[in-house]
Chain A
Amino acid sequence: MIWREEYKIGVELVDEQHQELFKRLGDFIQTVRSDQENSEKKKEVERTLNFMGEYVVTHFDAEEALQKRFNYPDFEEHHQIHEDFKAEVAEFQEKYSADEYDDDFLLEFSGRLLTWLINHVASTDQDIGEHINSVKEKEEELK
């Protein structure tokens, strides 16, 4: 996946985690689009999807902890977006493992994820950076 400097929100931990998340989603997509033999591919798809899914949880937890620490006003709404996304990934993991989804659905799911994650990082998360940095500035002034 392509990372752009403009995607940074100006909070180091979050920016590093976003880049790692891009990397893991990129690996998943690469696997989804590869020409491997079916059973081999399924194993790799599951592995890269789990690897990404684990990091989604790690990152969302860390980001939400920061939001709380800095009293981010849109915490509840953002938390719900994260919960919905986690639920969607978990449902996909479960049904894909149970052979309930075909290749077309796998392509559709990963394509949507690509655009969704870029928008979430490049647009939705920017407000968190702005908020945290303005709080930090105020704290500096009071020192």
Chain B
Amino acid sequence: MGIFSIWSSAFVVSLATLIAIVSSHPEGLAGILDALGRATGIVGLLMLLLAAALSARVPGFDRWFGGLTRLWKTHHRLGAGSLVLLLLHPVLLSLAQAESGLDAAVQLLFPPLSDWPIWAGWAGLLLMMVFLAPSFSFFGHPDYRRWKLLHRLAGPAVIFALMHAWQYGRTLPANVDKWLWTVMAAMAVGAVAWRFVFSRRIGRLRYRVARVVAVANNLVELVLEPAGRRRLEYDAGQFVYMAPFDRELAAGHGEEHPYTLSSSPDEKNLRIAIKDLGDASRAIQTIRPGTRVTIEGPYGRFFPDREADGEHGKQLWIAGGIGITPFLGRARWISGRQRRCDVRLVYCVQDEARARFLEELNAISETLEGFQVIPHFFYRQGPLDAGFLVTHVPDLVEREAFVCGPPGLNTLAKRLLIGVGVGRKRIHTEEFELL
């Protein structure tokens, strides 16, 4: 619903802009280019402000958008749309001026310094190019840390863009124009203020590393105990942003990263399984007990709300590699409560040695009625196929499907499930790639 309202608002403003432009009867090619130039400016800025508003990451808020992963995707698409439109905006307006001479076209882009609103527009656009360059891999795959730092330039970029729009925004009726940008600016500034000021003070919970369990040579499970007054309340399978504070870590001191909770919400402590996938998660493999961490969340809506009370319908879980973590948390929770369930877990891994937590999951399946684990080994059985799924889960089409793994597996599993007749709406996926 949230995502629908975001795109609807972009559509309504685009429509209003179109009506305002058509009613001004643009004449000739120059008139049309000028109208398009103004329209791209308005809709581009709107998309930039919507993207900024979505960046707040207020815990719970993401549920309206089908979870934080989907919300990030919308944020990413809005950012792309906004950059595309705002790159077209000055070029179209400049071409429209070429009717009065080439110098007029260049003058529009590069006026004297006293014409500050144009330069504010330039400042905003250049900052956008800088902070969005890593998001769209302009210069190769981005480094997570540099990407996060550069993304902070979005704040000043938004301010410059608003200064520019405030001066030139006369396409829409004056009242509409004023209200639109006031409301949108308030939302964007509110979101940024939450992100950089309030979330640090009230959104982050203090925890301490109580134990570090080495599950494999490239995978640890951290057990975190509360170090402050407040404890995290969450549903099994949700994720958090965690930042460790240990200057001796090789990388990632004070840097937040998203991790799935592998513990049951009924446990006193939090558990987070972290695989060595990058600099920061590699450094965490050597984190010491006693290290202070902050936790922000919970986020995600992998399992629908109605599941929170423990009533389980027939479900199929498909996990790939470290994508087992939300299912592990879920299985531990159901098992802890000894709830009746009807779950088939297809666990796809390369080989036996990489089937992390399989022993524990097998132990759960022995004591928990209706819970069955079906391992799938790539080296022996090849890629997951429909035959394997139908053989091991004959009543597949009657089940709600949940898939979590690397993007390749998610796409494959979705295709297979649709192929055997599982409705699209009954397939839920969670991806780890946030970029």
- Tell whether A pairs with B: no
Where the two chains meet, the residues of A that have a C-beta atom closer than 8 Å to any C-beta of B are none
